[in-house]
Structure 1
Amino acid sequence: MELIFQNQVALVTGGSFGIGRAAAIAFAQRGAKVAVADWIKDEENTTLERINEAGSEGIFIQCDVSKHADVKKLIDQTIATFGRLDCTFNKAGIEGIIAPTHECTEENWDKTIAINLKGVWLGMKYELTHMLLLGKGVIVNCASVVGLTGFKGLPAYVVSKHGLVGLTKTAALEYANAGIRINAVCPGVIHTAMIDRITGRDNEVEKQYTVMEPISRMGDPKEVAEAVVWLCSDAASFVTGHAMTVDGGFTAG
């Protein structure tokens, strides 16, 4: 695999599991040193082990992205360890509690928005501050296909992802002349722990989610990771402000 990120540093929030883990490994396989952040520590250190197996270096930093002090510490510690920050994948997010709009609690609304939207804004705030000093950088935010359309039963989640697409486009315009590109990925139904929580691993419920995909299967986290590393690479040098669907045709209909 070509080492397109050799001598570069990537940061992945929500990197202990699922799409975040796949992205951290994909960066490492292409030569990047990787800072992995999550509010839950992977006790088996699987992500870091896979980074090491790829011949790269990684660190884990525990971080609640909804907290200003945690996010500042995350960026400061990444730079203190590796000396720079070139690419960021702001993946950390939660689905919240499934309920229609009138039954969504204020607690669920506030927590979901705080992590999924405020958390990305806080991350970008400190990532951009460093990248402006560096004179370049790439940020990819993890939105969702439901950041482009509606979806019943997850009002706070849908709002957070719509907001994230808007934040991505706004920031992309603000820093386009500063050597910093900012994009979003919008995954469809990806087989992760989040989907397992939503479906309860019930085969019949899983089939309902699979049917949503014209490609007739759920996506794999690695497929989203490949889109992320492409957006961060020089191959995407003319791409900024884009919300890229990785959705098996979910939004095509």
Structure 2
Amino acid sequence: MSFAGMPNMLDGKVIMVTGASSGIGAAAARLFVERGATVVVMARRQDRLTALVKEIADAGGRASASAGDVTSADDVRRAVATAVDTYGRLDGAFNNAGWATAGSLIHETDDSVFDQIVDTNLRGVWNCVKHQVPAMLAGGGGSIVNTASTAGLVATGAIAPYVAAKHAVIGLTKAAAAEYGERGIRVNALVVGATLTELMEEVLAATPSLAEPFTSRSLQKRMAAPVEVAEAAAWLCSDASSFVTGAPVPVDGGWTAA
């Protein structure tokens, strides 16, 4: 990793990234720093966060870790406080933490699975937005990017709790954009298609038959690399997207266009 000569579209911004211990979140943390940002990374795995912060620092960037679970309001509050107390403000947030499991039909799905999926994917975003907004208002504004999914726009069989949660993330994103648009905070969602993350590898290991439909539904007939999703998040966190808010932005290889 080297930050020399990279575009500085996020220069000087302090950005919180959740789900940063792997996959899209880790890729975003690295990319944001390359683009000039300081990051506060949050995830449950402290060891991974420590390694990521060291990697960034060794390359000349600035990062702090705040281990925690987005389903805990106290953990989220602590991460926001880390940004404000350490760097003086919070300019952006990429609320990327999420979880899914191999699917089953609604009548075969245990309520505990529904609760876990909705808690992580929806309540986690709710907790983040709720506690990030006051810090951004105090600083004069900011940009929040929530990770949704193609499952937030179209149904995919046998993962009803995930579909419900990601549809709700898009609704929450629009509601937050409407509430804070005149107060300088933009809120958008990434409609993410199949991406080769550790979570995806776990899903495919449990249900190998999903590999073909995940690939074939993309008009490019492939899955995304995590950094491709991170690039979209970086743009939405930057001033280059200053007139974009309340939008579900597809980063799905054309999945929802077909």
**TM superposition score category, shorter chain reference:** over 0.9
In the TM superposition, 1:1-253 aligns within 5 A as 1-43=6-48, 45-200=50-205, 205-253=210-258
Measure the CA separation in 2 of the matches of 1:38 and 1:100. 30
Deviation sequence 1:147-181 (CA, Å, 0-9, x none): 00101111111111000000000100110100111
2:117–2:165 Cα contact (<8 Å) kept:
yes
Measure the CA separation in 2 of the matches of 1:248 and 1:103. 31
Measure the CA separation in 2 of the matches of 1:104 and 1:7. 46
SS at match of 1:84: coil
Opposite residue 142 of structure 2, the aligned amino acid is: G
Deviation at 1:252, TM superposition (A): 1.0
Measure the CA separation in 1 of the matches of 2:101 and 2:212. 22
Stretch deviating more after TM superposition (23-32 or 73-82): 73-82
Residues 159 and 21 from structure 1, CA distance in 2 versus in 1: closer, same or farther, beyond 3 angstroms?
same
2:102–2:203 Cα contact (<8 Å) kept:
no
Deviation at 1:77, TM superposition (A): 2.0
Residues 179 and 150 from structure 1, CA distance in 2 versus in 1: closer, same or farther, beyond 3 angstroms?
same
Opposite residue 243 of structure 1, the aligned amino acid is: P
Measure the CA separation in 2 of the matches of 1:18 and 1:216. 20
Deviation at 1:68, TM superposition (A): 1.6
TM-score by length of 2: 0.93
1:145–1:188 Cα contact (<8 Å) kept:
yes
Q: Determine what percentage of the aligned residue pairs are the same residue.
A: 40
Deviation sequence 1:204-238 (CA, Å, 0-9, x none): 65234212222011111000000000011111000
SS at match of 2:8: coil
Residues 151 and 42 from structure 1, CA distance in 2 versus in 1: closer, same or farther, beyond 3 angstroms?
farther
Deviation at 1:3, TM superposition (A): 1.8
Deviation at 1:201, TM superposition (A): 8.0
Structure 2 unaligned runs (5+)? 1-5
Measure the CA separation in 2 of the matches of 1:80 and 1:120. 22
Deviation sequence 1:1-31 (CA, Å, 0-9, x none): 1222222211100001000011111110011
Stretch deviating more after TM superposition (186-195 or 75-84): 75-84
Alignment RMSD, CA only?
Answer: 1.7
Opposite residue 52 of structure 1, the aligned amino acid is: A
Measure the CA separation in 2 of the matches of 1:144 and 1:166. 12
Residues 80 and 42 from structure 1, CA distance in 2 versus in 1: closer, same or farther, beyond 3 angstroms?
same
2:38–2:63 Cα contact (<8 Å) kept:
yes
Opposite residue 108 of structure 1, the aligned amino acid is: V
